[in-house]
Structure 1
């Protein structure tokens, strides 16, 4: 090894040039590969965030059962189906229940009323509504109040001419009993494009009402169960975290989605009432194509860097060979075998490669700390 160090000191200029060339090549290849991976991940998150809500979730609808206990059983069954995710991708599940048959009998504000066409209130309860909507006035409904407290989307309340604290007269069309609801608060979606609003059609980016029904008039779950003790309809929304899914897992996700379309309604015993709706396969196709384009765009610059770096190293090696020719001839004259000379060359090459292999990735990592492929936002949450 002493001979290797001695020869290295004699040709330190060329060896330093070789080390620098290798270091630059390793840093560029590592940095470009990592940058491309992060850019593809950020682009995938942006792609998922910009996709239509129908492509980001699986909506399962059907009968909520004969009573609250049966709904709880079905709800548990649906959540159990997604407990392990969708093809290994984590899934969040939210649910809603809907009550029918309550006619609005008071002043309808801007809505014209005809004598023979009733206008109904869409009564519902949603899980985790407060996390997806923000209050604009009043408060969320408190359970056990008399009359029952409800909340409304801000624009629906404006259309109906309702303000917080106002009583809303309603009539149960099944029993002809009259009652009142109290508007406890109004709210608006935090993100109208959120797939969560598939549970409440018209609340997100849709219209404020259908002309014959308006809402949702949201109740506390306990009040909803008391108001509708019998059979109601229900929906469950399963949202997989597609922004972080690896493209290698897309076939598994697609297969699991296909199976869930039939397996979930069966597990929840929805029977003939069970329906599923999703356009997620279209999003999975776009994610696969985008990943292919992103990764293929890396091939040309990587090949160019490798060719240029290889050419520089070959030139340095040729100069080093010419510089070492007299030394090599002397060593051979003193009896050095080809194998020994090759060993010396290999150890010298290690002196060039080892620093580049160790320092190159570190340099690339530090450089990428100041570069954000996802734009002005955080690298790993861009588009999320």
Structure 2
């Protein structure tokens, strides 16, 4: 019996079935795409974190010194055997397999070998000697040189025969950079000090170019590819010498035993970036900790040596990424939970609309003996035939469009959408037709008294929501910003653990639920109060529209909850995005001091300012002479002193909003050196010196006398806690020469600025600094997901509004048709529908504004946008807090009113074009 019923219903209402299929498909697509998109940007963020840290920090190094090996081995033969390639190769394979899936490793970039831990002095003539000091070398016998390098000259080193500790001649290769900087050629022989016998002669047989110099094979120890300059410790002259690496053949490793270099065996395990996923972060962290000092290290010692130690900074890199992820996650969850709630409400409203449209049909079925189970089963069958394939289509589109490593989460999200869509209509029908009755009682919001059962349910929900909000607010206020480190959720200082994250994410929904329950209860009061005075009005439109507004269905909690949650989420999201943009812009301004900055350690050429003014996009150039180590004569620590042109610099300070002041406040009134120069100072300097004149010694030894007349925390020219800004016309000629040019204008051409400035200068552009803060897959991905969630929530809010108006559309059309037969004009009909829908729209708009404002005020003490906004954890812009954005607060609410009025006016216009007879018949049928 169910199959014929389903076929009949789909044939009689194909439009409703198609609309439901479209709604379910779009919702399933968004629900399935969300976890896929989060995984995608999370994976990209983790890989960027590893790439930024570099192999030197992310590679796990295991090492065993020859001193410990000597205690395990029996004589020189045992030591030499342990250093041979075969022994290292076997233990390396065991180490790669032991990590397993917990820590994916890259076998190509992982390496093993033997190296000297002490740098050996090589006194051979001809080598580069800065400060007349001979270079030092580390001997390295690493596997796989032929696979990771390209010969530039000569051939790769070999180890013919059996090399022992007594061997006095070995072959080696050097990198191209080492050969160039230390003046080494093919055929050079370097003499490394011996332990007791003659020196070890190392013949250079080849010069190699690294194939992937930034990968772990070469960069886990950068000395393999690039020599470095080191300074002699405790040397007042700070004399420097070169340190390089000689790349021996793996079979030549035993020869290191004949040197005082204290050789050690090492195994470098490079993580495979392509195999690392953000959702595996706890497992990765656990595996790294285990390899550092846990079960995996014990396994490594079994395979290598009981004395093997581990060293890596990978755990710190993962911890930094986890902190950023924890700070961003709750913010994204706010939008996701809000949008998910609105989408769920829309699906329930769609089922409720279908049940209301078929109320007479279902009541007749119940009156003729239909059971609740039978009716619900048939309704479930007809919705499942439409919803399940639509959800599958949305899931397939998400998997194809977004992709991802965890499709199971997408499948679960799409299945939840399908289940909710299938259950909405049967549940609504069962609730409405529990009792068999033919006539439906009135459910007017102004006349119906809520039942005790509904009152108890609402009070229970209200108590739960208020309790959760109070708990969240208490945590936020008690912990405060200082509690971020110990909270476990960086960036959300009053929130601790997963429960706190959920409270943050559910806050807009909870506040919306409270507001919806309260507003639905309060809404009838003004309608009842205005009903009797409105009846005395002479016109018919006003009293009739007020009466019609009171005839609204009493079950208005779901539509109002959808609108309030959507408005709250949109306002919250807009405030977050606006706060992020403002913080980034502020940080960029503080870093540059203007729209662009040209800086040089020496005085800039005299004509450079004029050339910079002609660069496209440049409007004004402000020269500044900065003395970085000015010394007050009272022995206070050095401070920065900036010499500026007062008028131009005042305009720049107003443009950047960095300590603005009057254009004449710093103007020098006397000749240079005769009077104290008016100065702008930081609070720290002003607190120490007050307003009395004091002398300051400049870098060239000249003295100037200054007197503080202005105090500002920030200023464009210099940053820090201690600075002075004076009129440069009162400074000596040497200090007055500009060392920086502060540029203002609309998008100055960075490339042209660098070309004009020439070599020896640094050019920083505000737009580039701004882009640098967003140049993170984790931040940019979170912003995209956040924006998409807010946009989707707005779309579902519009759909909820349309469903609410669509539910009353047939009744309104019939009403207008009847009233037209009584002489109501078309203009009066439009005003009637607009005024009828206006109270509900105003209720949603005002409630949405108050709810959004309350949610933002509630969450602002516990929300830190710094991690989402800025690339650096410490920024001169300070902590980025959540603030109310008036545009985000008002525009969505006004859009609800405008959309409601527009739909009502459009319905009145469309009904006026149609004949009254059809509408009257439709109304009678209803």
Whether the TM-score (by the shorter chain) exceeds 0.5 is yes
Q: Find out whether 1:94 has 2:111 as its counterpart.
A: yes
Within-5 A mapping of 1:105-120? 105-111=123-129, 119-120=135-136
- Give the C-alpha shift of residue 152 in structure 1: 0.8
The equivalent residue for 1:170 is: 191
In structure 2, do the counterparts of structure 1 residues 304 and 178 end up closer, same or farther at CA, with 3 Å as the change threshold? closer
**Does structure 2 conserve the Cα–Cα contact (< 8 Å) formed by 1:22 and 1:309?**
no
Consecutive unaligned residues of structure 2, counting only runs of 5 or more, are: 70-75, 162-167, 232-239, 404-775, 779-926
Could you give the per-residue CA deviations for residues 294-318 of structure 1, whole angstroms, max 9, x where no partner exists?
6545423433443333343344333
The equivalent residue for 1:320 is: 354
Within-5 A mapping of 1:1-384? 1-64=3-66, 65=69, 66=76, 67-72=79-84, 73=87, 76-77=90-91, 80-85=94-99, 88-91=102-105, 92=107, 93-98=110-115, 104-111=122-129, 119-144=135-160, 148-163=170-185, 165-170=186-191, 172-173=193-194, 174-176=196-198, 179=201, 181-188=203-210, 190-192=212-214, 194=216, 196-198=218-220, 200=221, 202-203=223-224, 207=228, 214-225=243-254, 232-241=263-272, 244-245=276-277, 246-250=280-284, 252-257=286-291, 258-259=293-294, 260=296, 264=300, 268-269=304-305, 271=307, 275-293=309-327, 295-368=329-402
Q: What secondary structure sits across from 1:202 in the alignment? A: helix
RMSD over aligned CA atoms reads: 3.7
In structure 2, do the counterparts of structure 1 residues 71 and 142 end up closer, same or farther at CA, with 3 Å as the change threshold? closer
- Give the C-alpha shift of residue 125 in structure 1: 0.9
Could you give the per-residue CA deviations for residues 199-234 of structure 1, whole angstroms, max 9, x where no partner exists?
x45346771577666431112122444675798432
Larger Rg: 2
Consecutive unaligned residues of structure 1, counting only runs of 5 or more, are: 376-384
- Give the C-alpha shift of residue 282 in structure 1: 1.1
- Give the C-alpha shift of residue 285 in structure 1: 1.4
**Does structure 2 conserve the Cα–Cα contact (< 8 Å) formed by 1:171 and 1:177?**
yes
In structure 2, do the counterparts of structure 1 residues 215 and 144 end up closer, same or farther at CA, with 3 Å as the change threshold? farther
**Does structure 2 conserve the Cα–Cα contact (< 8 Å) formed by 1:122 and 1:216?**
yes
In structure 2, do the counterparts of structure 1 residues 206 and 295 end up closer, same or farther at CA, with 3 Å as the change threshold? farther
In 2, the alpha carbon distance for the partners of 1:74 and 1:137 equals: 29
In 1, the alpha carbon distance for the partners of 2:392 and 2:401 equals: 15
In 2, the alpha carbon distance for the partners of 1:315 and 1:121 equals: 76
Aligned length: 366
Q: What secondary structure sits across from 2:98 in the alignment? A: coil
Could you give the per-residue CA deviations for residues 230-265 of structure 1, whole angstroms, max 9, x where no partner exists?
984322223344661512414531441221557645
Question: Which one has a larger percent strand, Structure 1 or Structure 2?
Answer: 1
Q: What secondary structure sits across from 1:84 in the alignment? A: helix
In structure 2, do the counterparts of structure 1 residues 208 and 131 end up closer, same or farther at CA, with 3 Å as the change threshold? farther
Q: What secondary structure sits across from 2:347 in the alignment? A: helix
Question: Which one has a larger percent helix, Structure 1 or Structure 2?
Answer: 2
In 1, the alpha carbon distance for the partners of 2:227 and 2:24 equals: 58
In 2, the alpha carbon distance for the partners of 1:139 and 1:37 equals: 47
**Does structure 1 conserve the Cα–Cα contact (< 8 Å) formed by 2:104 and 2:276?**
no
- Give the C-alpha shift of residue 29 in structure 1: 0.9
In 2, the alpha carbon distance for the partners of 1:268 and 1:213 equals: 33
In structure 2, do the counterparts of structure 1 residues 299 and 112 end up closer, same or farther at CA, with 3 Å as the change threshold? closer
Could you give the per-residue CA deviations for residues 71-90 of structure 1, whole angstroms, max 9, x where no partner exists?
35466456535532078323
**Does structure 1 conserve the Cα–Cα contact (< 8 Å) formed by 2:127 and 2:134?**
no
In structure 2, do the counterparts of structure 1 residues 178 and 284 end up closer, same or farther at CA, with 3 Å as the change threshold? closer
In 2, the alpha carbon distance for the partners of 1:40 and 1:228 equals: 47
Could you give the per-residue CA deviations for residues 99-136 of structure 1, whole angstroms, max 9, x where no partner exists?
5797635323431586xx76544332111234444444
The normalised TM-score by structure 1 is 0.78
Higher relative contact order (CA 8 A, sep 6+): 1
